[in-house]
Amino acid sequence: MTGTIDASPVSADGLRQQVRDFLASHDPASLPQVDFLRARFDAGLAAVHYPPGLGGQGLPRAMQPVLDAEFAAAGAPTNQADRNPIGLGMAAPTILAFGNEEQKARWLRPLWTGEEVWCQLFSEPGAGSDLAGLATRAVHQDGPHGGQWVVDGQKVWTSVAHHAQWGLLLARTDPDVPKHAGLTYFGCDMTQPGVEVRPLRQLTGEAEFNEVFLTGAVVRDVDRIGDVGAGWRVAQGTLMNERVSIGGTALPREGGMIGPAARNWREHPERRTPGLHDRMLRLWADAEVARLASARFRQSLAAGQPGPEGSAAKIVFARLNQEISAFEVELSGADGLRYDDWTMRRSGAVDFYGREVGYRYLRSRGNSIEGGTSEILRNIIAERVLGLPAEPRTDTKVPWKDLPR
């Protein structure tokens, strides 16, 4: 891990010095927060792996903690990354990889500072695992600067859409070609009248996500990311980042879902049975091995050996969360029959540990569906890691408009 840091042109100490120099001329206590963050971006001290001139220095991602620790020690305001998870986790890498220079200059700074929140307009009621089959239409209209696109359709499972200024939109621009070839990728202004955001209530009672109705929404052609018809390739890049980000954080032992279950076990000797004991030990062992596997994955990433283990980590994370929370409901006996709150409300984030076991049990059902179902991930592992042949398909060669639906 340290090898990566040592090999980079700027050392960790050099980076710390840059931060100290920056702080000497930008007092976090007196500057307005947004001004401080913009200046930090302009100084290349936002995200070290972003390119020079765009908030970073083209350094390895592994050096980011050095930077963040130095700013944290000075009590500087952060960009509140958890308010803009799609923007930072998916939009920024997509814009960096596929956007043009004008788009990078326009979008990245307000994205990183949190002034502009991004959401992702991919899934539709009729296109879940089969994302490339989506039906939202974008029709081109001529005009200056490449004209504009008029968009009609419905998107779903859109988190933070109600806060978002921008959406990563995947839409069908040509229904007369096979489905993967007829898609185009856009940055869509979420604040216009043609975009309606409605909360989507989920089985836990609240709404983390939204439905987004696009009715004559207008997207300028200059906000198109990648070529017309190249949307699928751009979307693949976005989704790769989604899978890498899941299961990617380091936790201490008992830091995950196993923590509350183990505490419950220790605090309630009267709830223990031989069968539950066997499951407790099995789940504890599996959770700890999964934690080690996730650490090993991060070690291999840091050593510059990116592997396909991200898909595995997500499958394991989903399975364990579901099994552990199901176990904990049973362990809780009569307490497991109570639920904390069915009230419909907006919920910004998953709160696995601040809520009761019933919520953990219900919310974790989504872990094997969101961000790629476990079944799709198994296909990906089988085909891309193990090299097994794809299933024969009937949907990839015919024009999208002729597919059964």
Partner 1 sequence: MSTTAPSAPTGKGTQARTIPDLLYSADEQDLRDAVRSLLAGRADWPAVLARTETSQTYDTGLWRVLAAEVGCAGLLIPESLGGAGASFREAAVVAEETGRVAAPVPYLGSAVVATAALLAAPDAELLAGLAAGTLTAALAVPFASRPAAELPGGVRVTPPQPGDVGGQARLTGTIAGVADALPADVLLVLAASVPPDSVPPDSVPAALYAVQADAPGLTVTPVVSLDQTRQLADLALDSVPARPVVTGPDAAAAVRAALTAGAAMLASEQLGLAEKCLEITVSYLKERYQFARPVGSFQALKHRLADLWVAVLQARAGARYAAACLAEGDPDTPVAVALAKAACGDAATLAAQECVQLHGGIGFTWEHPAHLYLKRAKSASTGFGTPDWHRGTLASLAGLPGPGAA
Residues that bind partner 1 (CB under 8 A): 252-254, 262-263, 265-267, 269, 272-274, 277-278, 280-282, 284-286, 288-290, 292-293, 295-296, 299-300, 303, 305, 309, 312, 315-316, 375, 377-379, 381-383, 385-392
Residue 224 Cβ, how far from partner 1 at the closest point, in Å? 35
Query: Nearer to partner 1 by C-beta: 181 or 369?
Result: 369
Query: Nearer to partner 1 by C-beta: 13 or 270?
Result: 270
Query: Nearer to partner 1 by C-beta: 180 or 291?
Result: 291
Catalytic site includes residue 242: yes
Query: Nearer to partner 1 by C-beta: 3 or 147?
Result: 3
Give just the sign of the alpha carbon dihedral 396, 400, 403, 404. positive
For the chain, the residue count is 405
Do 165 and 109 meet the contact criterion of CB atoms below 8 Å apart?
Answer: no
Residue 379 Cβ, how far from partner 1 at the closest point, in Å? 6
**Annotated catalytic residue: which of 242, 309, 323, 370?**
242
Residue 391 Cβ, how far from partner 1 at the closest point, in Å? 5
Residue 150 Cβ, how far from partner 1 at the closest point, in Å? 39
Query: Nearer to partner 1 by C-beta: 296 or 338?
Result: 296
Residue 163 Cβ, how far from partner 1 at the closest point, in Å? 34
Task: List, by residue number, the catalytic residues.
Answer: 242
